[in-house]
Structure 1
Amino acid sequence: MKSTNKVSDFVRRVFPERQIYHRSGGTVRYFTVSPLQQIILAGAAAALVGWSLFASATVIFGQNAFNVGSASSEVSRLERWVQDFKAKEALATSQLDQRTEAFQDATLEFQRRHETLATMLEALQTGGELEASALRGNSASLLVTASIEEADVRQSQRLAQVESRLPRVGLRGDVSKIRDEQDVFLDEIEDIAVERAEAARGILQLTKVGAGRISSGENMGGPAVSFSTLMSGQFATPEEERFAVRVAQVAARMEEARYFEDLVNNLPLATPIGIPSRVTSPFGMRIDPFRKRPSWHGGIDMGAGWNAPIVAAGPGKVVYAGTKSGYGRVVDVDHGGGFVSRYAHLKRIVAKKGQEVEIGDKLGTMGSTGRSTGPHLHYEVLFHGKQYNPVEFIKAGKHVHED
């Protein structure tokens, strides 16, 4: 009871009954505000102030929480960006390494090609046998073995032009352009080889033997090319394989030219007498001087007087030096490729069997041994044992010397 009275006394002191006067237009009015009304107004004011404080605190501290979350999200985003950048950097480094390796491989490939082209050009210019690995160094499965004699005078200018192109077919410039220039260079080498082979064939045609009777595969060296190996996929790239096949094709042309040129260079194309002479009896059917009736004459008779020097009509090897029935003292020289020259009715033989002779080397002297009516040379040219007209060979030789 006492506690209740104390509360009531406290309320009356804090919230006593209040009268509010309002004067307007000479009229005075007043309002009475009871303690209960004051308590209600005070509670409402306190509630309003409390809500304002709560709302302000929520806005302030809530914004800070948002900022912390946003910062954390930004850090995560930056970390992902750094990781992506590192991944891209690693990829770029890997690609750079791959491209560097590819560039080095391409450089080595072009260098090998350049060396191959230089080797082939040297073969065209200087002769001399050589071995060039087209693409793979000492372990190459493609081995090009080529040998071409010195360039013909008519082709020296073109060879010089081709040689001048070689430095430009080096390792500088656009890759496709370098490949194109190397292909053009190969084409030019092939063209020269074909021209030389055709020129040699033409000389053979002048002798009436003809290149068609001669097997170009006989006694030929490289190219030692296994096309099954070429096509077995052992090359690093299809372009490398294509180039190897092309080199093999051109090398085959070069070898063909070398073969026919060697053949022509060794043919008995010179006059077999070392001083001025004349043909006294032709090749073919004639009246036999002993039987006085038509008979076959397998060579030509040439006169120049006793002891006239009889010389080799072409380079070769003496395979016979002695006496044969009907021929008297005779020397046979093998020129290779199935060609043999025969020198008969000699007075004296100076050459020895097995001796290597060059064009113009003395074999003996003119005489009249064997079946002969007087001093003369019976001269024959045989191809695989068949007799051909020596005059055609001498004419072909004059054509070569004129060119």
Structure 2
Amino acid sequence: MSQFGSRARAFFDRVFPERQIYHRSGGSVRYVSLSPSKQALLALGAVSLAGWCVYATANTVLDGAQQSASNSEVERERAKYDRWLNESRAQAAASQALLEERTRQFDRATADFESRHEVLRSLLEYAGGDSIQLAATRPIERDGARIIMAASIDEAEPRQSRAITSEPYQVTTVGFRARAENLEVEQERTLSELEDQVVERSEHVRGVLRMTGVSMASLTGPEAGAEVGGPLVPQDFVAYLRDSGLNPAFAERVTQVAARVTESRRLADIANSTPLAVPVAVDSRETSGYGQRIDPFTGRPTFHAGLDMAAFERAPVVATSPGTVVFAGTRSGYGYTVEIDHGHGFKTRYAHLRDIQVQRGERVAIGQRVGSMGSTGRSTATHLHYEVWFRGRPVDPINFLRAGRHVHEQG
């Protein structure tokens, strides 16, 4: 151990011998003596400083590399997040645009449904309003006479699931297309059912009118004249359809149904003017029919222009259809007579009355009493002479009474 110490001491002395540093200045010389221990301390300090510089440099180099790698990773993450953010913004913008487009579609669809709804409501009102009568289908008793009452489309069996109301549609975004399609189907079904009902009533009225023996062409065709003329569909309704902005196909469909409703109304108006009720408000019997017969006064064949119906004296004689009294007084051979113009070319004559209970120009209702049965004029017994005229020519009243009885049986 002492030998190692001796060697170390010798090495130390050899490396750090006693040194003197001379300094000359202004002709004077000075020196600094450096002992081995001071030299060792300086060397140790130099080595420490060098080691620290090396460590700091190496640490800085390594940290710079790590920092660069970290910065690169951060940049990559930042770029990735930027891409995500841009994609998210793009998706949000696309979603917003889609939402706005769906909202516009929803608003357009809602406006379209509301327009269709309003058109259907108007069409239903046009078809079945309080002032609209579509067909003569139900008789009632008034003053002892059978009266043909016109039924409106509102009297048909109600269809609750297809009723049109004024409440706005409640359409949600969930299943919007399905809901929209269902609404369109319901609207089409409403149109179809309305059309079916109107067509059925029109055919029923046509059947009744045919039973009178009067041709439908003379009642509804061109020869019917201005009395039953006019546009097939009211112009205000056509203008409403044009301004509603509806789908052309739906508007055309509505126009077709409206045309059928208009035709049904025309037929109903004609039917309401047709004298179908019985002119005697009590039980009566036919004593002489329409056409050729033997005149009871001359005994010769003559043409009988009406129908004779007998009951008791003062039996109530009633109007067989609404109309206006155009004559109330005495006619040669007819005695006390009442004549009523019912419109659409129909007139009726009630003759041989005992008394008259209406006056000229008076508007009478169906079943209203116009006089009492008697035997005035050229008559052999108490009875009513009843005539039906169409466009200035007498027609057989029995056909009208049979048509009226048919309506009664169907009602």
Q: Quick check: 189-198 or 342-351, which moved more?
A: 342-351
Which aligned pairs between 1:55-94 and structure 2 lie closer than 5 A? 68=71, 71-72=74-75, 75-76=78-79, 78-79=81-82, 81-94=84-97
Per the alignment, residue 243 of structure 1 pairs with 250
Structure 1 residue corresponding to 2:262, chosen from 243, 251, 255: 255
Is structure 2 residue 181 aligned with structure 1 residue 159?
Answer: no
Cα shift readout 1:51-74 (whole Å, capped 9, x = no counterpart)? xxx999999867765765675565
**Distance verdict in 2 for CA 1:187–1:89, change over 3 Å:** same
**Distance verdict in 2 for CA 1:183–1:389, change over 3 Å:** same
Per the alignment, residue 197 of structure 2 pairs with 192
Which aligned pairs between 1:307-322 and structure 2 lie closer than 5 A? 307-322=314-329
Which aligned pairs between 1:353-392 and structure 2 lie closer than 5 A? 353-392=360-399
Structure possessing the higher relative contact order (Cα contacts under 8 Å, 6 or more residues apart):
2
**Distance verdict in 2 for CA 1:226–1:119, change over 3 Å:** closer
Q: Quick check: 104-113 or 343-352, which moved more?
A: 104-113
Structure 1 residue corresponding to 2:302, chosen from 295, 300, 307: 295
Cα shift readout 1:332-363 (whole Å, capped 9, x = no counterpart)? 11222221111123332221122222232221
Q: Secondary structure at the match of 2:197?
A: helix
Give 1:202's aligned amino acid. Answer: G
Per the alignment, residue 48 of structure 1 pairs with none
Unaligned runs of 5+ in 1: 1-53, 130-146
Q: Secondary structure at the match of 1:195?
A: helix
Q: Identity over aligned residues, as a percent?
A: 40
Check whether the contact 1:339–1:381 (CA below 8 A) recurs between aligned residues: yes
Per the alignment, residue 203 of structure 1 pairs with 208
Q: Secondary structure at the match of 1:174?
A: helix
How far apart are residue 122 of structure 1 and its match? 5.9
Give the whole-Å Cα distance in 2 for the aligned partners of 1:151 and 1:382.
20
Unaligned runs of 5+ in 2: 1-56, 139-150, 172-177
How far apart are residue 273 of structure 1 and its match? 2.1
Is structure 2 residue 282 aligned with structure 1 residue 275?
Answer: yes
**Distance verdict in 2 for CA 1:397–1:177, change over 3 Å:** same
Per the alignment, residue 176 of structure 1 pairs with 181
Is structure 2 residue 383 aligned with structure 1 residue 393?
Answer: no
Check whether the contact 2:134–2:198 (CA below 8 A) recurs between aligned residues: no
**Distance verdict in 2 for CA 1:315–1:230, change over 3 Å:** closer
Give 2:182's aligned amino acid. Answer: K
Q: Secondary structure at the match of 1:279?
A: strand
Give 1:162's aligned amino acid. Answer: R
Per the alignment, residue 18 of structure 2 pairs with none
Give the whole-Å Cα distance in 1 for the aligned partners of 2:361 and 2:245.
51
Is structure 2 residue 233 aligned with structure 1 residue 223?
Answer: yes
Is structure 2 residue 109 aligned with structure 1 residue 102?
Answer: no
How far apart are residue 258 of structure 1 and its match? 2.7
Per the alignment, residue 128 of structure 1 pairs with 130
Check whether the contact 1:272–1:312 (CA below 8 A) recurs between aligned residues: yes
Give the whole-Å Cα distance in 2 for the aligned partners of 1:102 and 1:395.
59
Q: Secondary structure at the match of 2:217?
A: helix
Aligned alpha-carbon RMSD (Å): 4.2
Give the whole-Å Cα distance in 2 for the aligned partners of 1:151 and 1:171.
39
**Distance verdict in 2 for CA 1:161–1:364, change over 3 Å:** closer
**Distance verdict in 2 for CA 1:330–1:157, change over 3 Å:** closer
Give the whole-Å Cα distance in 1 for the aligned partners of 2:70 and 2:192.
76
Give 1:246's aligned amino acid. Answer: R
- TM (norm. structure 2) is 0.67
**Distance verdict in 2 for CA 1:307–1:227, change over 3 Å:** closer
Per the alignment, residue 356 of structure 2 pairs with 349
**Distance verdict in 2 for CA 1:387–1:167, change over 3 Å:** closer
Cα shift readout 1:223-248 (whole Å, capped 9, x = no counterpart)? 3258997997x66563xx32222222
Which aligned pairs between 1:9-24 and structure 2 lie closer than 5 A? none
Per the alignment, residue 13 of structure 1 pairs with none
Give the whole-Å Cα distance in 2 for the aligned partners of 1:305 and 1:58.
138
Give 1:267's aligned amino acid. Answer: T
Give the whole-Å Cα distance in 2 for the aligned partners of 1:266 and 1:299.
19
Give the whole-Å Cα distance in 2 for the aligned partners of 1:266 and 1:237.
37
**Distance verdict in 2 for CA 1:346–1:220, change over 3 Å:** farther
How far apart are residue 283 of structure 1 and its match? 0.8
- TM (norm. structure 1) is 0.68
Give the whole-Å Cα distance in 2 for the aligned partners of 1:400 and 1:237.
40
Give 1:188's aligned amino acid. Answer: E
